[in-house]
Amino acid sequence: MIRCDNGLFTLHTKHTTYQMKAGAHGVLLHTYYGPRVEGCDLSYRIRYVDRGFSPVPEEAGRDRTFSLDVLPQEYSACGMGDFRLPALDLELPNGSRGADLRYKSFRVEEGKYALEGLPAFRGGEGETLVVVLEDAAAGLDVELYYGVLEDYDIITRAVKLFNRGGQAVKIRQAASLCLDFQRGDLDLITFDGKHVLERSPSRGPLLPGVRSAGSVRGSSSHQHNPFVILCEHSAGEDHGLCYAACLLYSGNFQAAAERSQFENIRLTLGIHPWHFCWTLAPGEGFTTPEAALCCSKDGLAPLSHRLHRAIRERLIRDPWAGQPRPVLLNNWEATMFDFDADRLASIAKSAAPMGIGLFVMDDGWFGERSSDLAGLGDWTVNEEKLPGGLEALVPRIQSQGMKFGLWIEPEMVNEDSGLYRAHPDWVLQIPGRGKVRSRHQLALDFSRQEVRDHVYGALKTVLSSADISYVKWDVNRSLAAVWSAALPAERQGEAYHRYVLGVYGMLERMRRDFPHMLIEGCSGGGGRFDAGMLYYTPQIWCSDNTDAIDRLRIQYGTSFCYPVCTMGAHVSAVPNAQTGRSVSMETRGVAAMHGTFGYEMDPSRITPEEREVIRRQVAFFKEHQALILQGDYYRLSDPFQNGPFTAWEQVSPDKREALVSVVSGQIQGGPPLWNLRLKGLDPDLRYQVNGGGSYPGGALMEAGWPLPLPWGDYQSWQFYLSAL
Ligand code: GLA
């Protein structure tokens, strides 16, 4: 997997090759990343040409063809003649900016590296390549870590910086990856949106200059996602060369792609440089988050399959990797803050007979929390609503045959709370400036150990007071006016990252203390839906928008990187609380089976017919949940095209089973007669469709399956295929 030969470093996965070379003057050049090629030093592709206004480093003497501004770099720096996107930018005590990196050494370590305090893919039997660069003037070693997930076609990267000199160095920017392409004709796809409409793909050709997407909100955000794709202009689901880059990080990030003057492309991905400045004292180290790269020459579908498998099997941790997830019912949309123990028990009582196995009590159970004006921070049960606390409530729910789960928002505080009154200095806030509130709440300074310890202590008491199977960890605002009372002025640029490390640290602690508890991530829906969180929370509430038709788009966009088993998706009441739209219970169920399935309603208030539909849905989901959550996922149509239907498919790894889901759009007179071409089947097997007739896989894929004619808006169908 890893070959090191005289300064030439080659990484192979099953279908891809990645290569770099320590070239003249110790500059580490990127020679290739793409479909697998064998036995070759690919540096022959690099052109050395004299270009006007492209400077050369001192060692190159009169050789005007050796310019960092032109050559493909493995880890770019700024200030020393490369004017393209930097991966590394340092500030030295003399005020100078930039970095100058030269190859120093390499080593190969057994097993894939892990990163202390940060999420990372697990490598199994893999190896780690570490290429060490140095910036002599700064006294800094820059260690480039490469992990190879061979079977998954994934290459992971992280960077560790060590101050080996005698002076403090400020890291102004340290990206997790830099990737130079010796071509300029690629599209960039980013995943963008807003609260209640996350991760819509935006695709376009790279034009000269920089296109970037990122977040300065303190979390990965609803607005952009730390995941991007670069692909050939003609690439589609099943054809064309595609590259994916994903950052395992839940804070401020920047993904930037530049098409340079010579029609080459550079991609950088890492912590956002805005308001980032990390002081590295002599002897100290800094580790960037991990980034993962994936490449497919056969389009976007294989790219997603590889990422999905790697996330399912090498990122999500036990006991949830590959395991069934509970069908849950959450009371939020049914009750909001207005509930008591009897109301919750009556909801549970009506949910249990339909097969729903987990009851989740959402926001409003603690402190003086009767609206979003008060109570956050006070993690003790409100005994007016829930007399006897969880000790009394949980057995009541369990007596219905359901497990019990709880909503928490540990990172936040209301000013109207005991916690804030006792510790007003524990929030992130700039002295002398006004408070910046959002949803009437302020963010606690999670970079501080004592703040985390206090909140964790209170939560641990609650979580230990009863048999709690599940926690929904929410965070409901973006960070603003960020200033930490615990950091000196010159270290304020560390606050955002220390906050994220604090969140990760607390999640890890919770995982350790409650190893069998399922933690679902949430941030006003999908405002912190990233691979970093998935290391701690194997599923994330995909969006506060539970409208089945909007969800088709949100889940479609999310699917490019993240597998179905990570997407929290529920059936909610109609008219929908976000859109006012009403669609049938059947269609809401089909849409929610594009994720970890559940309900967000009061089932005691629906008709007997609807209850029967739910009973069938739950049974169907439970029967096919391995296929739905762990199967290979195919996008069969693009819901952004406003076509007559949206369709997707899951296929079992042995190709003996498949589930095709279809939702029609707004009805029009004379609806089209459509044959839906399926994917991923075995052409030589015969598949029985919904227990009826059987057809060859080849026919279903090439000739297609005739879709029923819709009657009315937003109809839905599921076709279960099993090989004979
Ligand atoms: C966020 C979540 C919702 C719900 C509310 C509770 O918006 O996304 O699902 O938990 O908070 O306040």
Tens-digit pLDDT profile for residues 325-353: 999 999 999 999 999 999 999 999 999 99
Pocket test for ligand 1, best of 338, 522, 533, 545 (most atoms within 8 A of CB): 522
Separation of CA 410 and ligand 1 centre (Å): 13
Positive or negative: CA dihedral 353, 357, 363, 366: positive
Pocket test for ligand 1, best of 328, 336, 362 (most atoms within 8 A of CB): 362
Query: Exposed, middle or buried, 511 (CB in 10 Å: 0-12/13-18/19+)?
Result: middle
Active-site choice (610, 638, 682, 713): 610
Could you tell me how far CA 246 lies from the centroid of its own chain? 8
* 524 ligand 1 Cβ < 6 A: yes
Which residue's alpha carbon is nearest to atom 2 within ligand 1? Answer: 524
* 153 ligand 1 Cβ < 6 A: no
Which residue's alpha carbon is nearest to atom 12 within ligand 1? Answer: 363
Tokens of 78: 């700024």
Is 547 a residue of the active site?
A: no
Which residue's alpha carbon is nearest to atom 11 within ligand 1? Answer: 524
Pocket test for ligand 1, best of 544, 551, 567, 576 (most atoms within 8 A of CB): 544
Separation of CA 495 and ligand 1 centre (Å): 26
Ligand 1 atom nearest the C-alpha of 524 is 8
Ligand 1 atom nearest the C-alpha of 522 is 8
* 568 ligand 1 Cβ < 6 A: no
Write the Ramachandran bin of 441: left for phi over 0, alpha for psi from -120 to 50, otherwise beta. Answer: beta
Please report the pLDDT score of residue 282 as a whole number.
98
pTM for the whole thing? 0.98
Q: Which amino acid is present at 505?
A: G
Separation of CA 370 and ligand 1 centre (Å): 14
Please report the pLDDT score of residue 435 as a whole number.
97
C-alpha 230/C-alpha 656 separation (Å) is: 33
Separation of CA 334 and ligand 1 centre (Å): 12
C-alpha 367/C-alpha 388 separation (Å) is: 14
* Cβ atoms of 717 and 705 closer than 8 Å: no
Per-residue HEC secondary structure of 624-647 comes to HHHHHHHCEEEECCCHHHCCCEEE
Please report the pLDDT score of residue 642 as a whole number.
85
Give the whole-number percent of the chain exceeding pLDDT 70. 100
Which residue's alpha carbon is nearest to atom 1 within ligand 1? Answer: 524
Query: Exposed, middle or buried, 724 (CB in 10 Å: 0-12/13-18/19+)?
Result: exposed
Nearest to 145 by CA among 156, 134, 136: 156
Please report the pLDDT score of residue 1 as a whole number.
86
Please report the pLDDT score of residue 329 as a whole number.
98
Is 610 a residue of the active site?
A: yes
* 476 ligand 1 Cβ < 6 A: yes
* 198 ligand 1 Cβ < 6 A: no
C-alpha 119/C-alpha 29 separation (Å) is: 28
Please report the pLDDT score of residue 125 as a whole number.
77
Run of H or E residues at 2: strand 2-5
Separation of CA 406 and ligand 1 centre (Å): 12
Percentages of the chain per state (helix, strand, coil), in multiples of 5: 25, 35, 45
* Cβ atoms of 500 and 535 closer than 8 Å: no
Which residue's alpha carbon is nearest to atom 3 within ligand 1? Answer: 524
Could you tell me the CA-to-CA distances from 336 to 112, 280, 343, 597 in Å, in that order? 45, 47, 12, 20
Pocket test for ligand 1, best of 335, 407, 540 (most atoms within 8 A of CB): 407
pLDDT digits (tens, 9 = 90+) for 49-67: 999 999 999 999 999 999 9
Please report the pLDDT score of residue 124 as a whole number.
79
Strand partners, 147: 128, 156
Which residue's alpha carbon is nearest to atom 8 within ligand 1? Answer: 524
Positive or negative: CA dihedral 37, 40, 42, 45: negative
* Cβ atoms of 223 and 217 closer than 8 Å: yes
3-class secondary structure, 430: coil
* Cβ atoms of 149 and 123 closer than 8 Å: yes
* 571 ligand 1 Cβ < 6 A: no
Separation of CA 525 and ligand 1 centre (Å): 7
Per-residue HEC secondary structure of 26-95 comes to HCEEEEEEEECCCCCCHHHHCCCCCCCCCCCCHHHCCCCCCCCCCCCECCCECCCCCCCCCCEEEECCCC
C-alpha 508/C-alpha 334 separation (Å) is: 31
C-alpha 204/C-alpha 231 separation (Å) is: 10
Could you tell me the CA-to-CA distances from 257 to 14, 85, 207, 249, 637 in Å, in that order? 27, 8, 10, 19, 27
The fold for domain 639-723 equals Immunoglobulin-like (2.60.40)
Structural domain boundaries of the chain?
88-315, 328-629, 639-723
In this structure, the number of other CB atoms found within 10 A of the CB of residue 79 comes to 15
C-alpha 603/C-alpha 334 separation (Å) is: 9
Active-site choice (290, 530, 544, 649): 530
Please report the pLDDT score of residue 39 as a whole number.
84
- φ and ψ of 106, to 5 deg: -145, 165
Strand partners, 381: 366
Ligand 1 atom nearest the C-alpha of 407 is 10
Separation of CA 619 and ligand 1 centre (Å): 27
The fold for domain 88-315 equals Beta-galactosidase; Chain A, domain 5 (2.70.98)
Could you tell me how far CA 695 lies from the centroid of its own chain? 38
Separation of CA 567 and ligand 1 centre (Å): 15
Ligand 1 atom nearest the C-alpha of 523 is 8
Separation of CA 497 and ligand 1 centre (Å): 25
3-class secondary structure, 134: strand
Please report the pLDDT score of residue 428 as a whole number.
98
Ligand 1 atom nearest the C-alpha of 600 is 9
* 547 ligand 1 Cβ < 6 A: no
In this structure, the number of other CB atoms found within 10 A of the CB of residue 25 comes to 16
Could you tell me how far CA 36 lies from the centroid of its own chain? 27
Ligand 1 atom nearest the C-alpha of 525 is 8
* 649 ligand 1 Cβ < 6 A: no
Please report the pLDDT score of residue 126 as a whole number.
82
C-alpha 96/C-alpha 137 separation (Å) is: 11
Strand partners, 681: none
Separation of CA 524 and ligand 1 centre (Å): 5
Question: Please, what CATH class does the domain formed by 328-629 belong to?
Answer: alpha beta
* 362 ligand 1 Cβ < 6 A: yes
Separation of CA 72 and ligand 1 centre (Å): 46
* Cβ atoms of 31 and 45 closer than 8 Å: yes
**Mean pLDDT, contiguous 10-residue spans, the chain (724 residues):** 92 98 96 95 96 96 96 97 98 98 97 97 90 98 97 97 98 98 98 98 98 98 98 98 98 98 98 98 98 98 98 97 96 96 97 98 98 98 98 98 98 98 98 98 98 98 98 98 98 98 98 98 98 98 98 98 98 97 98 98 95 98 98 98 94 98 95 94 98 98 96 97 98
Residues shown for the chain: 724
